[in-house]
Amino acid sequence: MKALEGKVAMVAGATRGAGRGIAVMLGEAGATVYCSGRSTRGAPSDLNRPETIDDTAEMVTAYGGKGIPVRTDHTVVSEVEALFERIDREQQGQLDLVVNDIWGGEKWTEWNIPFWEHNLSNGLMMQERAVHSHMITSYYAARLMTKKHSGLIVEITDGTDYSYRGNLYYTLAKSSIINLVTSMSEELSPYNTAVVSITPGFLRSEEMLDYFGVSESNWQDAVVQDSHFAQSETPFFVGRAVASLAADPKAFSKTGRHLSSWGLSEEYGFKDIDGRKPHWGNYYQTIKHMY
């Protein structure tokens, strides 16, 4: 029996990147996974990327789970409410895991520009996409999970602390998720519902591969452009981190904590899908003097 067989999960932002990697690895562990996001076949989001939730759901099924695509804009309350009502109805109230990976801030982040010169609308849009969406999603997830007095909410972010990340608005969005986890864990603990944040390292996402002009098969060619890329990880690595945590019967002991893909790899012993065990934390300690 697979570790998550019989479990029901919902991954918000399952279209691409970490969200897709997480959804697919939950499928590998046997879970039923609702894959939500805005991009469907023939109807891409404003990011205009080729990946869709339909593709992700098919990958979940191909890896051994059951993928269910549900087009949802997680900044629209009525759409999120409808998503959880559907899960409640179809799964008879069962919802074991919710992963919040909504981001979509790539086009709104203006790097190397002080906040007072940064486009304010873009900065505020980041908060709507990456913070408001998580708050809305967690609101409805908690309403369903507390009825059963069990569940796990995983918030995907960048980093494990409140340090500056190169852009005020980006930093605010990512660190707000850490604060959200700390606060939610306090209120959900009496209901046996755990909440954690997890950060990946240097993510070798579809967009990052495109940026460097490489594919997964020859990604190491891009190391000449950025030496840090040698320490990158596929989205499936953080996916296995989430799957391993969700399968841990003692997962509740981690509620309120801010975790990392590499740290969970050390604890649970999983590898990336390419057989590597990247450890961004160790690597960062060797280069942090550069920043």
* DSSP assignment of 147-161: HHT-EEEEEE-S-SS
Strand arrangement of the beta sheet that strand 8-12 belongs to: 66-71, 32-37, 8-12, 97-100, 151-156, 193-199, 258-260
| Closest by Cα among 16, 55, 52, 11 to 31 | 11
Does the annotation count 170 as an active-site position? yes
Residues in Cβ contact with 279 at an 8 Å cutoff, skipping those fewer than 6 apart: 201, 231, 262, 265, 266
| Closest by Cα among 77, 53, 84 to 135 | 77
**CA distances from residue 25 to 43, 57, 159, 238 in whole angstroms, order as listed:** 25, 11, 21, 9
Which phi-psi region, left, alpha or beta, contains residue 13 (left: φ > 0; alpha: ψ -120 to 50)? Answer: left
Q: Which two tokens stand for residue 183?
A: 């606060």
Residue of 164, 170, 284, 291 marked catalytic? 170
Active site residues: 170
